[in-house]
Chains A and B, each alone.
Chain A
């Protein structure tokens, strides 16, 4: 996998919707525009919804890594709203 350097990291594998998105949103709001947030999440509902919700808010999903164990790492670049 390519080495994307994230500015911040959040693990949302231990929470359920909607706190998954809320935690990701809180983490990305603390970044500057253009910085990258690395989010560890479960497959299924979180993977389906959290990246889409972040896109709706103007951020950009730059890479998704499948760890092969049901968890994923999603890199999101903060957009200016």
Chain B
């Protein structure tokens, strides 16, 4: 594969970087990243991965674009209201970068379909951009069981957090958080509100992790939880322990099959 002149120009700022170069840009163009949820986190992540020339981007979301999404889900435009989010996301990416092949899955992830979606294109890296705990635990367990690296993240109000799981290189989400909280026990951003830029900051960090993983450069957020407080403008990296008795990634893991946890009442329409 050799670059066209347009590609040389489009990716010139990458190619100039010693850490990326021609080889790295080719790796990006051959890479496949799955983004689950095309909302506050997934939208900016998808846009930066598309701009970077990630060759295949999978988008998973069952929702349609609503006016209230547009305050933060920047991949969708006012004219897209009412459209399936995956279609709107695909159109934006196609207009941005013709090098990217977008694969859409207009559905919610569940124990029944998530492995099939991950294996559909044998994705290299998965981004959790979902807003609910059943999905977050499902994505974690599916990635552990299929040995896929993924980026977890959550945002609420003025706070965000993210960590990266790489098989065999650090704790998974369940190591730290064990089980989902009961439905409605912990507010999601629909109930609590969220500053629009939070997804931009944390989702872009998730995209950065995906790019670094594909390129094999730098230090990932494995074994570390990065927390961000926008009001104090404070980033902290918390070192996380490896949990030997984790029920899904531990030495004698009990979870061998995926679990569909019950969602909060206000999220029921998703399930």
Contact = CB atoms under 8 A, between A and B. Distances in A.
The answer to whether any beta carbons of A and B sit under 8 Å apart in the complex is yes
Interface of A: 18-19, 21-23, 25-26, 29, 53, 56-57, 81
The 9 closest A-B pairs by CB, nearest first: A29-B22, A22-B12, A22-B15, A18-B12, A26-B22, A22-B8, A18-B16, A19-B9, A57-B18
A56 B9 CA distance: 21
Q: Contact size class for B?
A: 10 to 19
Contacts of B9: 19, 22
Nearest to A27: B22
B105 to A, nearest CB: 35
B23 A29 contact: yes
Contacts of B3: 26
A49 B31 CA distance: 32
B22 A19 contact: no
Given A26-B3, A57-B18, A19 B23 contact: no
A21 B8 contact: no
B16 A21 contact: yes
Nearest to A26: B22
A20 B18 CA distance: 16
A81 B21 CA distance: 12
Contacts of B12: 18-19, 22
B269 interface: no
Contacts of A23: 8
B188 to A, nearest CB: 44
A57 B19 CA distance: 10
A26 B22 CA distance: 6
A26 B5 CA distance: 11
Contacts of A56: 18
Nearest to A57: B18
B21 A25 contact: yes
A25 B18 CA distance: 10
A18 B9 CA distance: 8
B15 A26 contact: yes
Interface string B161-192: 00000000000000000000000000000000
